[in-house]
Structure 1
Amino acid sequence: MSRLFQLDGKVAWVTGAGSGIGRTAALTLADQGAALVVSDINPVGLAETASLLGDRPHLMLAHDVTSQEQWTDGAARIGERFDRLDILVNNAGIMVSRPFELSPLELLQRQQRINVDSVYIGMQTALPLMRQAMAAGAAGASIINIASVYGMVAGAQFAAYSATKGAVRALSRAVAFELARTGIRVNCVLPGPVQTNLGADWEPPKGPDGAPIPPDVALAAWAAMIPMGRLGQAQDIAPLIAFLASDNAAFITGAEFVADGGYTVA
């Protein structure tokens, strides 16, 4: 892959790196020269990502992002291995689709823990290692939080998910404001509908007669709502993450970047 951005000497931690956007982002950052810390709760997917990284510098962490203890342990291992952290990509997340009236509070709370609490804990955990990087001569550090266009527009049966992604947007702006003078940047990426396994917990969509709609039919209907005529792919999002991770984005913080094929234009 061509070197679009210069990340040599930087260390990046990508959560949810076992598949989808997380895996592609990790490989893209490595292609640009960064050493990678890849973490995921799924050991099989995580091992596959590590295998794809090959002999490029990397550290693999089994990681439940809702556990503050596991964040702390992960940071300690990064400190031992690399003694710094320049980039954090808070990518781990979950999306559960269900009609609002049939969504118990527990469904919101589960997505809150994974989608929001982990971002909060992760940013706090990363700061000491990022300050170490800057003490060692880095010009700055970058936190990239993955939200969603469903944190800014309505989506069918996404009330709980939308609430959490709206929270990620607000949290990112607030922390960016606080950290702006420190050299640590915080930005937010809002993907549109992307064909990954994020929605693995979706209930099958149903037609007016109550019968399940075949997945390929449902996906085709979703793609038809996108002006570009297709669902996004992980590789549509990863270069944006690499840009925000790089010094090319040194004057960008508290910003939101939508990548959705025009889904939210209208």
Structure 2
Amino acid sequence: MPTPPLDLTGKIAWVTGAASGIGREAALTLARYGATVIAGDLDINGARATAETCGGEALALAHDVSQEAAWAACAQVVGERFGRLDVLVNNAGIMMSRPFSEAPVEMLRRQNRINVESVYIGMQTAEPLMKAAIAKGAGGASIVNVASIYGKVAGAQFAAYSATKGAVRALSKAVAYEWAASGIRVNCVLPGPVQTNLGADWEPPVDADGRPIDPAAALAAWASLIPMKRLGVAGDIAPMIAFLASDAAAFVTGAEFIADGGYTAA
């Protein structure tokens, strides 16, 4: 039996954190494969730029993913505009670094709100819109949650971040299991170190004396640990997201996909 082509024509795809980095590249890739993109981000100007580049009926939304009310307001717009949702990419997140002994619990709480609660609320928010798509004849719907290899293996000074990304992995599997019969698939992507706009996405690590490490030096140190000897780029992750969003992955749910240049292979 031939594998269905990677074609997202006619699908409505909502991407969070779409103003930059993996979120922006995912939105552009989904659009290239035919999807109508909803680009959400706190940075509404960045979201608008992404939507404009996507073209077609792409929509930009100002979206604070940590707030239930914001999810509800955005979902209302999506429902009124499109009446359904085929794909949700929970990409928005934050990365904060500090030695565990010096990391206040608020650092965990902040990352949990943005990295975990947003995924939880987002999936619940998407469910009725996805069921509407299925009721209108869609063969299924897809949720792609972006976690991290640091939810699978240890990373220096990332204890709180690792805790939240590990939670995303477990949450994705649990919901995938519950919703498998409904036609809503849930999968998880685990990027390795990816070179994005660090100023927007994380707080740079500090050295033993508490001084911030130069981002370029931090990136070089990461690259030296990767068997491929380079950092990933957003374009290394987006095609995987597009595959999981498509009907080519119709029998894939509760799965995890790693893209890390071999970092976790050993």
Both proteins in one fold, TM over 0.5: yes
1:114-125 map, 5 Å? 114-125=114-125
Q: Deviations over 1:70-106 (max 9, x none)?
A: 1111111111111110000000000001110111010
> Could you say which residue in structure 2 is the equivalent of 1:166?
166
Q: What's the Cα RMSD here? A: 1.4
Q: CA deviation at 1:47?
A: 2.3
Moved over 6 A (4+): none
Q: Which residue of the partner structure matches residue 51 of structure 1?
A: 52
> Match for 1:169: what amino acid?
R
Map of 1:9 onto structure 2 = 10
Does structure 1 residue 139 correspond to structure 2 residue 139?
Answer: yes
Long gaps (5+) in structure 2:
none
Contact 2:39 2:48 in 1 (8 A): no
Moved more, 170-179 or 37-46: 37-46
Segment drifting more, 38-47 vs 26-35: 38-47
Q: For the residues of structure 1 that align with 2:175 and 2:31, how far apart are their CA atoms?
A: 26
Where do residues 5-84 of structure 1 align in structure 2 (5 Å cutoff)?
5-54=6-55, 56-84=56-84
Structure 1 residues 35 and 42: alpha-carbon distance in aligned structure 2, compared to 1, 3 A threshold = same
Report if the CA contact (8 A) 1:93-1:198 is conserved. Answer: no
Q: Is the 8 A contact 1:223 1:231 kept in 2?
A: yes
Alignment deviations for residues 156-198 of structure 1 (CA, whole Å, 9 cap, x no partner): 0000000000000000000000001111000000000000125
In 2, the alpha carbon distance for the partners of 1:66 and 1:213 equals 28
Deviation at 1:35, TM superposition (A): 0.6
- Aligned residues with identical type, % of pairs: 67
Post-superposition Cα deviations, 1:44-70, rounded to whole Å, max 9, x if no partner, equal 32122123223x221111000011111
Q: CA deviation at 1:261?
A: 0.4
Distance (whole Å) between structure 2 residues aligned to residue 17 and residue 86 of structure 1: 17
TM-score, structure 1 normalization:
0.94
Matched, 1:228 2:218: no
Query: For structure 1, which runs of at least 5 residues remain unmatched after alignment?
Result: none
Aligned ranges 1:152-231 → 2 under 5 Å = 152-198=152-198, 200-206=201-207, 212-231=212-231
What's the secondary structure of 1:235's corresponding residue?
helix
Conservation of the 8 A alpha-carbon contact between 2:204 and 2:215: no
Judge conservation of contact 1:205–1:212 (CA < 8 Å) in 2.
yes
Change (3 A) 1:235 1:210: same
**What is the identity, as a one-letter code, of the residue corresponding to 2:50?**
T
Secondary structure of 1:194's counterpart equals coil
Structure 1 185/212 Cα, relative in aligned 2: closer, same or farther at 3 Å?
closer
Q: CA deviation at 1:213?
A: 4.0
Query: CA contact under 8 A between 1:92 and 1:114: conserved in structure 2?
Result: yes
Normalized against structure 2, the TM-score is what? 0.94
Cα deviation, residue 142, structure 1:
0.2
